[in-house]
Amino acid sequence: MKSQQAANRPDNTAFTQQRLPAWQPMLSAHFVIPGFLLIGMAFIGIGVALYITSQNIQVLEKDYTGTGQYTACSECADMQTIPCICNVTFSLTTLFTGPVFLYYGLSNYYQNYRKYQVSRDDVQLWGDVTKSPGDACAPYQYIDNKPIAPCGSIANSMFNDTFSLYQIINGTMKLVPLDGKGIAWWTDYNIKFRNPSAQGSLQDAFNGTMKPVNWSKPAYELNPSDMNDNGFLNQDFLVWMRTAALPDFQKLYRRITSGDYALGLPPGDYVLQIEYNYAVKDFGRKKVVFSNVTWMGGKNEFLGVAYIVVGSLCLVMSVVMLVVYAKYKFADENA
């Protein structure tokens, strides 16, 4: 009877009565001021470490657009003769510690433009060239009603300058071996991209497709020296297809890891021979970058400085708070 009477009685649990055990942090000045101090110190510490690391990275940049203040490759800048070979020379006075990475850099190039980014067909790049390419590839979808492989604007605009590096030793040019293996993401090379499979050679697999308009060679002939580095699995192609975040970007071209140059580029004179194919003068510039890398990647002074600035701000805050607190407490005790 009694239970019936209290049928509507709410449950007496910690949840329904809003009495859940809880921790209510009661922060006080004694905790906050040292806290800020600590964060500030830690940030400054990180910042200094980053800055020093960054300072140790050697970087060599050569702009070879051929117009404006840099004169290198000016003979090729007008794109009259194709192919146009030009040389960029430089000399090193100290050892350029290895492994040295060779990048090409483009500026004012909007690889993150929305229509550009989507101008590809992931199904096709996954090895299915028989299917008609997606609409996103337009206007680089078909030539004479034959599908373009690889289709789309990204592939079509692939960077096609080539570089070879020579060291000048006693007037003779010694080729510095450039390693083009493994410069693309593992996932791109192994999963995301696949060559179309066919009974015969790779060429057969691309049968019935057209090469992109701007390409001089079809996809299966991208790297004549290494048969396995062709088609959709060409390393340079993979690097290019991984679009850059910002309009000014670099992309890894080669690494110098083998032979006499495994420890780095020794002091001396060098010639970078460039096959100048890629027109940029209408929108921006291009350059080559030699750099060695540390655990934090390439040279990056900003990050260290930013950490130091934020850390200092925290320190300043803690000092301000200390002053305010002291004054407040002082006034309190007086009163």
Partner 1 sequence: MPTGVSVGSVAADLSWEVRANNRLFHRKQRRRSCLCLHRGRYSDNVIRSYKYSALTFLPLSLFEQFQRIANIYFLCIVVLQSIPAISTLPWYTTMIPLLTVLSVRGFKDLADDLARRHSDSQINRQPCDLLTNEGFTSVQWKDVCVGDVLRLHKDQTVPADLLLLTTTEPHSLCYIETSDIDGETNLKIRQALAVTHQELSSDPIEPSLLAFDGQVWCEEPNSHLHSFKGVLEWRDMRHLLDTGHILLRGTVLRNTRVAYGLTIYTGLDSKILQNCGQTAVKTTQVERTLNKVVVGIVLLVLLFALLLAVGAGIFEARVAPGIEALAELGGRYTPVYKVFLTFWGYIILLSPSMPMSLYITFELVHVIHSLFIGWDLDLYDGGVDVPAHARSTTLNEELGQVRYLLSDKTGTLTENRLIFRQCCVAGVLYGNMPDKAKKHDPLDLSWNPFSCGGLQFSDKRLVDTLRKPGSPDVREFFKALALCHTVMAEWKDAGVSEEASAGAGAPVYQAASPDEETLVGAARELGWVFLSRTRDSMTLSELGHRRQYQLLALLDFTSQRRRMSVLVRDPEGELKLYCKGADIVILERLRKDSTYCESTEKALEVFSQGCLRTLCVAVRSVQEGLWEEWSRALELAAMTTGASDDLYDNMERELTLLGVTAIEDQLQVGVPETIATLRQAGIKVWVLTGDKKETAVNVGFACRLLDPGTRLLQGEELRQLLQTPSPEIPLDGGHGKGKGAGNRTSAMVITGPELVEFEEQPELGKRFIALSRQCQAVLCCRTTPSQKAGVVQLIRKYTSSITMAIGDGANDVNMIKTAHIGVGLNGLEGGQAVQNADFSLAKFHFLRKLLLVHGRWSYRRISVFLRYFLYKTSSFAFVHVWFAFCNGFSGQPMYETWFITLYTVLYTSFPVQCLAVFEQDVSAEGSLRWPSLYQLGVGRQLFNPRLLAGTFLYSIYTSLVLFFLPLSVFCFSAIDFQTFSITVATASVFTSTTELILQTGYWTMFNVAAIVFSMSMYFLATLILHSPLLHTIAPADFYFLGAFQNAFASPLVWLTVLLTTCTAVLPSLAARALLLVLNPPDTHRVHSSDGAIRTERHLELRPAFRRGHVRRRSSYAMSQGPGFGWLITSGVALDKTSATQSDRVDINKIEMDFATKMQMHVPQADHSQESAGCGQTELTADAVDL
Cβ nearer to partner 1, comparing 271 with 313: 313
Do 33 and 297 form a contact (C-beta atoms < 8 A)? Answer: no
The DSSP secondary-structure symbol of 220 reads G
Shortest approach of partner 1 to residue 129 CB, angstroms?
A: 14
12 interacts with partner 1 by CB under 8 A: yes
25 interacts with partner 1 by CB under 8 A: yes
Among 72, 76, 154, 274, binds partner 1 (CB under 8 A): 154
Stretch that binds partner 1, among 150-158, 162-170, 171-179, 201-209 (CB under 8 A): 150-158
Among 67, 141, 243, 312, binds partner 1 (CB under 8 A): 243
76-105 residues in contact with partner 1 (CB under 8 A) are 103, 105
Residue owning tokens 């890398």: 293
For residue 103, CA distances in Å to 42, 125, 291, 332 come to 34, 24, 8, 63
Among 69, 80, 93, 186, binds partner 1 (CB under 8 A): 186
Among 37, 60, 138, 263, binds partner 1 (CB under 8 A): 138
Neighbours of 27 (CB within 10 A): 8
Number of residues that bind partner 1 (CB under 8 A): 92
- CA 100 – CA 257 distance, rounded (Å): 7
Q: What is the DSSP string of 62-95?
A: EE---STT--TTTTTTT--SSSEEEEEEEEESS-
Shortest approach of partner 1 to residue 34 CB, angstroms?
A: 11
- CA 147 – CA 223 distance, rounded (Å): 22
b/e per residue, 277-312, with b = 16+ CB within 10 A? bbebeeeebbbbbbbbeeeeebbbeebbeebbebbe
- CA 64 – CA 87 distance, rounded (Å): 9
194-213 residues in contact with partner 1 (CB under 8 A) are none
Stretch that binds partner 1, among 77-85, 201-209, 248-256, 257-265 (CB under 8 A): 248-256
| Nearest alpha-carbon partner for 92 in 258, 293, 290 | 290
Among 56, 68, 297, 330, binds partner 1 (CB under 8 A): 297
7 interacts with partner 1 by CB under 8 A: yes
Among 78, 122, 204, 260, binds partner 1 (CB under 8 A): 122
Shortest approach of partner 1 to residue 51 CB, angstroms?
A: 12
16 interacts with partner 1 by CB under 8 A: yes
Shortest approach of partner 1 to residue 2 CB, angstroms?
A: 11
Which residues are CB-contacts of 125 (< 8 A; sequence separation ≥ 6)?
Answer: 150, 192, 193, 194, 232, 241
261-280 residues in contact with partner 1 (CB under 8 A) are 279
